[in-house]
Amino acid sequence: GNFILRITNYEQQITNYEVKALNALGQVVFRHQTSNVKPHTSNEIDFSSQPAGIYNVQVISKKGVWNGRVVIR
C-alpha cells in the first residue's frame, strides 16, 4: 500500500529533512531526502513492494526527530 506524509512548515524553520521507514527488524526499507521545504510539503511513500506489517517512520531535520508508525495491510 501507499501512504502520504504531509509536513507543515508554516514558519519555514526547516529547510531540508529526511524520511526513513524501518521494518520490524530495524532494516531501512525506504529513505528519501527533501530540500527547499515549502510551508506545505507532501511525500507519497510507496510500500507496494513491502509485506504487510507495522513500520516505524522517522522524519529527521535540524529541529529534531519525529517518530511514528504506519500499518500496511
Q: For the chain of 73 residues, list the mean pLDDT of each consecutive stretch of 10.
A: 72 79 94 80 81 92 89 88
Residues 6+ apart with CB under 8 A from 71: 53, 54, 55
Q: Is 73 exposed, middle or buried (0-12, 13-18, 19+ CB in 10 A)?
A: exposed
Among 41, 65, 14, residue whose Cα is nearest residue 56: 65
Dihedral sign of CA atoms 40, 45, 33, 70 in order:
positive
What pLDDT does 4 receive? Answer: 77
